[in-house]
Amino acid sequence: MANDQLRHARERVESPHAPGQPASRQELAELVNEWVWQHRGRRTDVDANYIGKLERGLIRSPQADYRAALRAITGVRTDPELGFRVRRHSSPAVENVDRKAFLRAVVGVGAAAVSSAPLLDLLTSAEATATPNFITQADVDGVRTAARVFGSWDNHYGGGLAREAVIAQLRHSAEMLEVRCPENLRPALFASVGFLGHVCAMMAFDAYAHDDARRMFRFTQACADEAGDWNLRAKTFSSMARQAIWCGDPDQGLTLTELALVRADRLTATERAMLLSARARALAKLGNVQDTLRTVGMADEQFAQAEPANDPDWMRYYDQAQHLGDTGHALWDLAVGHGEAGQDASARLASAVTGHTDTYVRSRAMSGIKLASLTMTVGDPQEAAVIAEQALKGARSLRSRRAADDLRDLARRATAYEGIHEVASLRRDIRTVLAAS
């Protein structure tokens, strides 16, 4: 007997691709897959054929995750409203017993404690980590190592995964600034804590916790001033500029890069290249085509003089792939907005994708997404889809709001070519990745 209740429910769902029209079986299937991934954390392959079996009544009791997804998508409260029968069985009770036994084994508490206390209470620390009584070189090195480790994590996974852990580490490290310290170690201590503060700020920026990021950038700037560290000061201004540009204020971004370049003679060639790349990105957003092209050329000249051995720790990321990616992003705005420098933008972004190692998954993915968006806009949509699918391989593991927004922009640009099979498939894949991000 056909399940007309489910069919009618599907027809009340608006098509994601044809506003005003009911969702097709395939579209409903895709929505189910996205919901299960987002809310249950597992990938499924529901398709139009399966939805058809449900509507024809061949399957009357789909698995629980599918029922939950269909209830949420169609806006009903109960399974019978969708024509489903739910088999009753005793496995939940067994599952609960197994879960309690597992928690007893891992946490080492009795069954009564597990059943009555919130799990988070079991992880509450009774004693804060003590700060040292006297700062040594080992303490300074420890903070610097923590900054490197968390910075590497941020580059690989994005800012949304471990931000709370870095905030806790930063608070503990900041307390060390009040501890007795030999005068010859004070600048290094402040610079190390500032380095960690910068990592924390960039993770907040990537997670769109913008107010947190701005406060942490100010903290880092204060540490740089206390340490008399012009390199950390320049890096902080550069990152603040990038946040301002990303948030739609390129004029403020331009001002911040100019502040950082006030004493460019005290900076390394790599740092000057980084700042000029940020300046080019601000100029491109402002629509200053010739100034952008000139500034990209100046950045290239500085990078050609780079000597990585002279660069501080926080500049290790700025290799050739990063430089090409940053300048390629600036030229992307000229190519898309003004029809200028399209070939140069594509070449730089493609070289960045090729050159980034597995340490810099986010940078590689974002350059790949931008390259795909550019190709989708001014080139071959099928080629763009191939480029984008490669970028999605890295994007799947990211928890980056910036990368997610770039993917949304790519999906919007692909809408005009959805009649092409590869592009339609790409848009589905993007929705799946975004649902999990």
What fold does the segment set 4-82 form as a domain? 434 Repressor (Amino-terminal Domain) (1.10.260)
Sequence-distant (≥ 6) Cβ neighbours of residue 322 within 8 angstroms: 352, 356, 360, 363
What pLDDT digit, counting tens, does each position of 414-433 carry? 999 989 999 999 999 999 99
pLDDT at 40 exceeding the cut of 80: no
- How far is CA 311 from its chain centroid? 26
pTM of the entire predicted model: 0.71
What pLDDT digit, counting tens, does each position of 214-230 carry? 999 999 999 999 999 99
What pLDDT digit, counting tens, does each position of 99-135 carry? 444 334 443 444 444 444 455 555 555 566 778 889 9
The single residue listed with the structure tokens 């009544």 is: 57
Q: Which residue has the higher pLDDT, 94 or 44?
A: 44
What pLDDT digit, counting tens, does each position of 358-373 carry? 889 999 999 999 999 9
What pLDDT digit, counting tens, does each position of 6-17 carry? 999 999 998 888
Residue 97 contacts residue 121 (beta carbons within 8 Å):
no
What pLDDT digit, counting tens, does each position of 244-270 carry? 999 999 999 999 999 999 889 999 999
| Cα–Cα dist 332/326, whole Å | 10
Average pLDDT over residues 39-62: 84
Please report, for residues 124, 146, 289, 359, 400, the alpha-carbon distance to residue 164 in angstroms, rounded to integers and kept in the order given.
14, 14, 41, 21, 15
406 pLDDT band, cuts 50/70/90, is: very high
Query: Domain 137-436 is classified in which CATH homologous superfamily?
Result: Tetratricopeptide repeat domain (1.25.40.10)
Average pLDDT, whole number, for the chain?
87
- Classified as helix, coil or strand, 223 is helix
| Cα–Cα dist 59/205, whole Å | 47
What pLDDT digit, counting tens, does each position of 322-356 carry? 999 999 999 999 999 999 999 999 999 999 999 99
Domain boundaries, the chain: 4-82, 91-120, 137-436
